[in-house]
Every structure is written in C-alpha cells, then in structure tokens.
Structure 1
Amino acid sequence: MSLISRRNWALRLSIILNICVLLYVCVHFGSSGPWIDDGSVNWESQPLTQVQSVIKNANESQRLPGTITTNVEAKLSKTKSETNNKLPPIVKVEATKRIESENNKDNGVNEADANRPLTQLNQESSPLAQPSVTMTMKDATPCIQKSLKPKRAQRGDYWVLYNYVPMSMSVQCWESITYTTHADFTFLDNLEPLLKRWQAPVSIALHAPGTDFQITLESIKYLRSCGSSLISQLVTFHIYFSNKHVPKVVPPSDKFLNSAPYNCSLSAPWANNHTKMYKTEKKLVYPVNVGRNIARESAVTHYVLASDIELYPNPNLPSKFLEMIRKSNQPELNKPNPKVFVLPIFEVEKNCQPPENKTSLIQMLKAGTAIPFHKKLCSVCHNIPKGKEWQQTPETNELHVFHVGKRTGNFAHWEPIFIGTNSDPMYEERLSWEGKSDKMTQGYTFCVLDYDFLILDNAFLVHRPGIKFYKKDSLRQTLAAKTNVLIKKIILPELKVIYGSRKGCVI
C-alpha cells in the first residue's frame, strides 16, 4: 500500500473516533442537563406557582386593616402584665419597625433584610412577583424624630425647661398623636381623666413663676406617684416662667426624677393652694399662647391636637384618626390645600359624665343635658359649618371627613380646635388669656393661607362637666380693650406684611 493510501486511512479512522467521542459526551450530559425539557412537567396542575407563593407570603406578612397595633400598645401591655394592673386599651396604630425588628431577630431574619422594604426583597427573590403592599402609617407620615432630652432655654421674656419631666415610653413620630396643652398647677386635676380617654402622648407646658414653681413640682410628683401609671408613661411636662419672676431654686431634671416619691396619704398639692398663688399675688397675666407653643413644638409625634386641658376627647380617637390617614381614601384628604382636622366641642351639665361616643352625645343634646361649646358665652366662636347636620348624622365605626369648612362669612370669627402639625401657624405669644381673642390672629392667618377645615364626623371634645355662663369681669374687659388695640394697631399690620391678605379674612 502506498504511503498516500496509508495516510488517507489514518485520517478517516481519526475522524470516526472523534465523532464517537462527541456522541458519548452528548448522550451523557443530555440525560441530566438543565436545558433539555421533555415536556413531562404540567405547570398548570401545580397547587401553587412561584408567583402565587410570593404573593401569599407577602399578604400573610402584612397586618390587616382594623387589626393594627402599636409599639405604645405593646409596651403598655407589658407593663400591665408586670404590674397586674388593669389598664384600658391603648392607642391602636400601625406596628413599629422596632417591634418587627425584635420579631425578626427572634426568627433569625437578617437585620439588613428586615430593614429593607418588603417589595424590594420580593423583587430580588422573584422578579416575576411584585405584590402590592398596604401603606403603613410610617409611609403615610414622613416625619423626623424629636428628642425628649431635657434642656433649658430662653424664649423671649421667658425661661423654659423643655422636657423637664419626660414621658418614659418611647414613641415614634409617625405612630401616634400628641395632645398638646397648657395649664398652671391648679388645673392638673384634669390630667388623669383626660388621659384615660386619650391614651396617647400628652405634652403639657406649665406656667410656674416664683413660688408657684415648687408647688408645681409637688403636683407633678403627686400625679406620677399617686395617679394612674399612664401619667409617667405618656405625659411630658415642660415648665416656663418670666425672667422677672424666676424661682429661688430650679433643680436639674434628673435630680427631680430621682427624688423621693410623693406621700400619697397627703392630699393633692393643688387642693388648698388656689388662693395662695404667686401669680395671683403679683397680679400676673396668664401667657396662654407661650404655653401652647411650647407644648406643641415639643411634641414627639407628627400629628398634634393643640387643645385646652379641660377639653376631653372621645375615646379611641387617635387610632381611628391614624387609620383614616393611612387609608387616605377620601378626596378631601388628597386636595393640595393646607388642612387641619376639626373636632366639634360641647358642654355638659355639672352632674353628667362626658359622653363616650357620638350616639350618647346626640342623646344628651336632644335631652338638653349637653349644648354646643360656649353657646351662652360666644355662640359664633365655636359653631361649626353644618353643625345641625353633623348632629343628625348617625355614628359609624370609622372616622371620615364630614364637611370642609372655611373661616369666612358666618364663620369669620370661628375658633376651631383641631388636629394639625407643627407646620401650621403658631399662636401669637403677645396675647394673654385675660385679654381674650388669643386664637383670633392664628385664625386670620389660616384664612389668608386658604386652609381647609376638615370637620370629622365621629370625633368631638367635651368640656369638663359644668355649663359656662357669662360673668361680668371689669378687669378682663379692660385688658380685652387693650388687647384689641394691640391686635388692630400692631399685630394685624404685621400679619398682612408677612402673610398678605385675602377677601373675607378678618380678626
């Protein structure tokens, strides 16, 4: 055989061997390879697809509307179990991240994953599944957390002890509402009945000039030592006094907190000291708006109810309000105008208990044992738009916007009390309680800024029992006349420069 023939046979044999090797490799990998689908799997017959599984898990991880709980509630429940004291149910609002974080740690969930949005985690684990997530209160309330650390500062002519006695419970800015108010020590008997109905944070500024300061400290100690445990858990006390009437001794906050508790066998400090007030002896006016602003600005929550300590809200208001905000399913809530949420106010006879709900309130109005607030003093000051229709509207389980009012026309002198935020105009601090008209300048500003006053259907305030009647007070009349001049000649021109004017807006 020639040399050329031998080479041809060798080449042919090599080609055949290579083909055999390739066939072997294909058969080996093809029997277990991931890219070969023999059509034996029926995906439609599977009980739960990947997408359905992720959506199911996401839905199970979300709290259902109507069953939301809060860090506030959890901590109070823990306190109740530890002390075996029966406490009424606390504010129900969206669960906090801190509780979820603790649960995640217990369940072995990575902290970084726990802090990432559920939708992000789902997208990373399954690009096909992007289930919708119910909006939480944290989503609905962008806010910045404030500190409860005590501090001392000057505010105009006043020294202020901010957070002098802070509440013990830690509350996130988005998970509740703060009732902000003002008083002197003689009004502190209202705090416990107010808190039993409110059951959410309270920020209170106490006017305590001169020797009233020591009695004020004793009154705070009495409330925290001898009253409801809700006082120490949910109430933050601020104290302020004029730089012309500084107390002789002002102990640091921590020294006061660590001092001996009050002897509860003794009566409340305010019981026998009404006639011995330093304020009365020195004939000082009550700087009501200084206290209002201190308490409001110091609130740790985004939403605040700036009110007077003798006005008691109907129970469960914080939870229902926050649920309404979370859902945000009413057109009035989504309009671009600035807005506040108005609570109608009522009075009841002295021998009556404040009603617990709107149904009871309506019954008392029909019986004449309850009337609209200040009906016998200044009916135009607190009448709400469509007030009669509000009383005729039956109570429901949830909270809604009943009507959107404006501070114009027949309501140009309206003094509503409302749930708002610290972005709303503040109170004019040159005005006093004795001089009256202390909220009128703020009302004018709201009008010029075209605020919507969203009147809530099942929320209200009731004054401490006792119908108010007009009493002639020559001193207040004199101070009121001076206040009117101050407003007309000085404050109103300033407001027109700062905010401008609008037709129909008056003080």
Structure 2
Amino acid sequence: MFGVVCRRNWALRLSIVLNVCVLLYVCAHFGAVSGPWIEEGSGWGSSGPAPSQEMMYGTVPRLNGTATASAPAEPRSALPAARQQESKQPGPAPEPVRFKVNETKSPPEAAESEEAEQRPDRTANGNIKKELTLQEAILCNDKSTEPKTAQRGDYWVLYNYVPMSMKVHCWESVTYTTHADYTFLDNLEPLLERWRGPISIALHAPGTDFPATIEAIKHARSCGSPLVAQLVTFHVYFSSKHVPKMIPVGEKVASERANCSKAAPWINVNVGRMYKSERKLLYPVNVGRNVARESSPTHYILASDIELYPSPDLPVKFLEMIRKSDQPALLRPNPKVFVLSIFEVDEKSQPPANKSILIRMLKMGTAIPFHKKLCAGCHNVPRSKEWQEAPETNGLHVFHVGKRTGNFVHWEPIYIGTNDDPLYDERLSWEGKSDKMTQGYALCVLDYDFLIVDNAFLVHRPGIKIFKKDNYRDTLTAKTNVLIKKIIVPELKVLYGTRKGCAV
C-alpha cells in the first residue's frame, strides 16, 4: 500500500513539473513574437520614451517632406527654408526663401466603381496614380560647390570663388545663371526679389578691374539684401594675358565686410577708364555664360542676362509643372527647353508682377515686346500675339510647342533648360553680336522642342532700347559673320549634322 502511494506522489510531481515547463515554453514563445508589453501612454519598456524610427534605424530620408523607409543613411541637412544661416546683414531679414513646391499626396482609397475608374487620378485599370515627389520627378546628382581654379581655353577661371551660404539639392530649385562685369551688380537685388532662388554669376575681371570687382562683391554681400550672401555664387574669370597682380583667397573675401558708408563700387563708374576699355578688350560673353551654367548647383537652369528680371515665383511654379508632368507636350520624346517671353517697359514703369498687369501695360503702350525697336525678329516668339491675348491662369502650362524654323529661323530664345543642352561658342563676343545664334542652330538640328510657357515671362530693367549707330560694333559684326559662316557652321555640321529648315 505504501509503495502505491509513493508512486502516485511521484507521478503527481512529474505532472506538475511537465505542466510548468509547457507553461514556460508558451510564455517564452508568446513574448518573442509580441515583444515587450507597453501600456498606453507609457515609455519604451520600463524607462525612457519610445524610440523613433530614426533612433532604431538611423536617419529616415524625407522626399519632399514625405518619410520613406530606407536603409540607414547619413543625416542630411535641413531644407532651405529651415537652414538659413544667421544673417550678418543689418536691417530686417526678407521673407524665408522656399525652394520646394507644395507636396501633393496620393488620394485615399475609393470604392471600386465605374465612376471611380473615370477619375483623372486613376489609371485605365482603376488603380490610383502615384504622385511623384519632386526628387523622384527630377533624377539628378548633387555637384561639388567647392572653390577651384582652372584654365578654360585662354582664360583662367575662379570657380565658386565666393559661394552662396545656403546649400541646395539639385532638384530643389532652378538656378538663374548669368554673366557681367562688376558695373552691372546693381541688378542683383531687384533680380533676387523676384527670383528668390540660386543665382550663379560669372564676372569678367581682367587686370586692374579685378580689385574693383572684389570690392563690389563685398559691398553686394555686406550692404544690401541678405539674399545676396545667401543665394548668389560669384565666379571670376580673366584672360591669361591679363592676370591681376594679386588674387585674395575667396574665403577671405566672403568673410570681410565692406564699408557700407561708402558708395557702391558700381555707382558712377567711368567705363572708359576701366582696364577692359583702355586695353580695348572684347567682352567674352559666352565664356561667362558657360562658366555660370556649368557651375549651377541645380539640374534646371535659366541662362539669362542679368538685366532681365523674371516674373515672381517662377522657380516654384516651374518645378510644380515638372513634378506633375501631366501635359502632353511634356511627354513628347524630343529634347526640350522651356521658353520665356521677354518684354521691355518704359523707364517710368516698374516691371509687372504678373501677366494680367503685363497685358494691361502692353495695351497702354508702357510695355513692348523685347527688342521690338532693335531686332524684332530676334525675339519674336511663335504665337506671341495669342500669348499676349490669353488671360492669366493659375500655375504654369505649355502654351505652344515652337520650332526654330520658318519665320523663326533666326530666333534667339531665352529658356529654362539643363546642362545637357549645347553650350555657347566661346569664340564669339558681345561686341560682334550673334553670340547665341550658333547655339540656336545646334538646338534646331537636334530637333529640340521649344515649349513656350503661358504665365511666366522676363522683363528688361526699365528703359526701352532704341537703335543707335555703332561703327565699331558694325566692323566687329562683319568679322564675326565671316567667322560663323566659314569656320563655326562647317564645324557644327560635322558635329551635329544638318536638318532641313535650320540656319544660323
């Protein structure tokens, strides 16, 4: 009897042990799958706040403000509107510069129905179309903006000599690229107030024009709008035959403040006493154009002249059009550039703030198409009359797809493009004229589409130009025409081929 009781006790004990083991196994398995328990409102585990995605997986890149899952990445800097450095300039700061377009999110899931399938935000099979972010729409790589000195043909170039203080990704804005000498720097502020995006400017500064150029850069950065230091990158170039006696380090120029009690170096300049004038040097306009273009930090560029002021908010509106890419003209396979109509206003008028005001000024005669009294055919945009009669609308759209043929075979459009477009021939000078004609010929032969946009434009600084006889330029123009006809055009035909209807 005693033996039976002992065996039952041992069986009971063994059963208890087995049940405990099974219970521990189940609990361990459940804990491994579910993770630690967290009461609502409590921290992660027993202490401290719950870690964010960035704490667990590293910095999460944000595409145009939308978080995306990715592998650990190096932390990127804040966006331009949030990363403006503390200004060194006196006076009130301007409104924050915003490079990015408004983010459009994909619409929520809708009930599957015949009506939903016909919605414009759905594909033919009823699936919701994916709205691209700007970074996804503009596939590009950031370029180095480090200063460097290099030769370019017969010229020395100080690339990124005094860079802008902001950092911008290649897809975040459009860069206004231009050229000048220091006497034109009074255009920077009115240009920036309307553009409010990066500007890349190449300054011609041979010989003793170089010190004055340095002082002008300092004055523009120290004494005017803070936007100059934030958004303008200065490059400087000069012929190897006219090297300045001394070239300070760019960082030193950027850090030094000008004496703002003195007049700006570009005021009341005796142009005839400048080094360039005394040495009778030609202005190498296309060297400046190409230097500024190739140094642009953004994928899209507006290669223009510093006295041409754009309609406000152009970069943001343009990039939103590119992001959407919902217009048939944008989907054509041809290479393309985006043409801006150009106008002049009389010296008593201010450049119009929008197309509606521009239309009124055209009717009143206080505004006219660009170079109407100098070379009307050079800037006669296809369907310009219809453009001027079309009322202003929201956003930016392709108004017409033009070609540089027929009545527009000698057209000199100014447009938003990229550095994939042909460069300008650096053998041509401003004095010899026709400096953009050969590049226009290359675009024609390559069958470019000239997409004329509807609600954006350029306006020359106030003052309507009239024809003035210039015997010196006439002589240089004749020589330039021979150079183009006998040397440059034959080269272009070898390089790019020919196309019926294309001419310089």
TM-score range, shorter chain: 0.7 to 0.9
Q: How far is 1:396 from its partner?
A: 1.1
Alignment match, 2:82: 74
Name the CA distance, whole Å, in 1 between partners of 2:320 and 2:211.
41
- Paired with 2:144 and 2:64, the residues of 1 have a C-alpha distance of 30
- Partners of 1:80 and 1:240 lie apart in 2 by 28
1:168 correspondence with 2:176 = no
Segments of 5+ residues of structure 2 without an aligned counterpart are 1-14, 27-62, 67-77, 104-126
Q: Does 1:326 align with 2:334?
A: no
**Residues 405, 452 of structure 1: 8 Å contact kept:** yes
Q: Distance in 1 between matches of 2:64 and 2:174?
A: 23
Looking at structure 1, the residues matched to 372 and 129 of structure 2 have their Cα atoms a distance apart, in angstroms, of 49
Give 1:192-207 correspondences, 5 Å limit: 192-207=189-204
What does the per-residue CA deviation read over 1:383-416, in whole Å, with 9 as the maximum and x for residues that have no partner?
1110010011111121000000000000000000
1:379 is matched with: 376
- Separation in 1 of the partners of 2:406 and 2:130? 44
Cα drift, residue 272 of structure 1: 3.0
Show the counterpart of 1:273. Answer: 269
**Offset of residue 427 of structure 1:** 0.3
> Paired residue for 1:460?
457
TM-superposed CA distance for 1:300, in Å, is 0.4
Asked if the contact 1:337/1:450 (under 8 Å) is kept, the reply is yes
- Report how far residue 506 of structure 1 moved: 0.3
Cα 1:459–1:89, aligned 2, differ >3 Å: closer, same or farther?
A: farther
1:433 and 2:440 correspond: no
Partners of 1:84 and 1:193 in 2: CA distance: 17
In 2, distance between residues paired with 1:465 and 1:62? 37
For 1:84 and 1:346, locate their aligned partners in 2 and report how far apart those are by CA, in whole Å: 33
Rounded to whole Å, the distance in 2 between the matches of 1:410 and 1:131 is 44
Q: What is the DSSP-based 3-state SS (H/G/I as helix, E as strand, rest coil) of the residue aligned with 1:284?
A: coil
Q: Distance in 1 between matches of 2:87 and 2:204?
A: 33
Q: Give the drift of 1:83.
A: 8.3
CA distance in 2, matches of 1:353, 1:75: 32
Do the aligned residues in 2 keep the contact of 1:62 with 1:134 (CA within 8 Å)? Answer: no
How far the C-alpha of 1:82 sits from its partner, in A, is 11
Q: 1:359 to 1:94 in 2, by over 3 A?
A: closer
Does the CA-based 8 Å contact 2:89-2:222 persist in structure 1? no
Instruction: Confirm or deny: 8 A CA contact 1:71 1:95 kept in the other structure.
Output: no
Q: CA RMSD in A?
A: 2.6
Whole-angstrom CA distance in 2 between matches of 1:496 and 1:326: 36
> What corresponds to 2:302 in structure 1?
305
SS at match of 1:471: coil
* Alpha-carbon separation, structure 1, partners of 2:478 and 2:91: 55
Could you say if the C-alpha distance between residues 139 and 441 of structure 1 is closer, same or farther in structure 2, counting changes exceeding 3 Å?
Answer: same
2:332 corresponds to which letter in structure 1? K
> SS of the residue aligned with 2:442?
helix
Please tell me whether the aligned partners of residues 358 and 395 of structure 1 are also in contact (alpha carbons under 8 angstroms).
yes
Equivalent residue letter for 2:144: S
TM-score, normalised with respect to structure 2: 0.79
Q: SS at the partner of 1:294? A: helix
Residue 95 to residue 166, structure 1, CA distance change in 2 (3 Å): farther
Task: Decide whether the 8 Å contact of 2:87 with 2:226 is kept in 1.
Answer: no
Q: What residue in structure 2 maps to residue 289 of structure 1?
A: 286
Q: Does 1:85 align with 2:73?
A: no
- For the Cα contact (< 8 Å) 1:91–1:318, is it kept in 2? no
Contact 2:100 2:173 (8 Å CA) reproduced: yes
CA distance in 1, matches of 2:130, 2:411: 41
- Taking structure 1 as reference, are residues 154 and 319 closer, same or farther at Cα in structure 2, changes over 3 Å only? same
Percent identity, please. 67
- The answer to whether the Cα contact below 8 Å between 1:169 and 1:233 also exists between their aligned partners in 2 is yes
Q: Deviation at 1:94?
A: 4.5
The aligned length equals: 416
* Residue equivalent to 2:3: none
Q: Per-residue displacement from partner, 1:472-504 (whole Å, max 9, x unpaired)?
A: 000000000000000000000000000000000
Q: 1:443-458, aligned counterparts within 5 Å? A: 443-458=440-455
Deviation at 1:196, TM superposition (A): 0.7
Distance 1:457 1:132, change over 3 A: closer
CA deviation digits over 1:76-104, x for unaligned, max 9?
4x7589988241353441489xxxxxxxx
- Structure 2 residue 264 is the aligned partner of structure 1 residue 262: no
Structure 1 residue 251: Cα displacement:
1.2
In 1, distance between residues paired with 2:255 and 2:99? 32
- How far the C-alpha of 1:131 sits from its partner, in A, is 7.9
Match of 1:406 among 400, 403, 406: 403
Does the C-alpha gap of structure 1 residues 187 and 84 become closer, same or farther in structure 2, counting only changes over 3 Å? closer
| 1:347-358 paired onto structure 2 within 5 Å | 347-358=344-355
Distance 2:102 2:397 in 1: 22
Contact 2:205 2:238 in 1 (8 A): yes
Q: In the aligned structure 1, how far is the partner of 2:343 from the partner of 2:410? A: 18
The reply to whether residue 491 of structure 1 matches residue 488 of structure 2 is yes
CA distance in 2, matches of 1:457, 1:271: 37
* Alpha carbons 1:186, 1:274 under 8 Å: kept: no
Q: 2:12 matched to which residue of 1?
A: none
Distance in 2, Cα, partners of 1:438 & 1:257: 32
Contact kept in structure 2, 1:182 and 1:288, CA below 8 Å: yes
Displacement of 1:326 in angstroms is: 0.4
Distance, in Å, in 1 between the alignment partners of 2:185 and 2:394 is 32
Contact 2:195 2:314 in 1 (8 A): yes
Q: 1:165 is matched by which residue type in structure 2?
A: V
Amino acid at match of 1:177: V
What is the alpha-carbon distance in structure 2 between the residues aligned to residue 83 and residue 272 of structure 1?
25
Give, in angstroms, the shift of residue 144 of structure 1.
Answer: 1.3
Stretches of structure 1 that go unaligned for 5 or more consecutive residues are 1-20, 33-60, 65-69, 97-129
- CA 1:450 to 1:131, structure 2 compared with 1: closer, same or farther past 3 Å? closer
Deviations 1:169-195 (A, max 9, x none): 010000000000000011110011101
More helix by share: 1
Which protein has the larger Cα radius of gyration, Structure 1 or Structure 2? 1
Matches within 5 A, 1:234-273: 234-259=231-256, 261-273=257-269
Alpha-carbon distance, 1:426 to partner: 0.4
Q: Distance in 1 between matches of 2:223 and 2:270?
A: 20
**In structure 1, distance between residues paired with 2:313 and 2:353:** 10
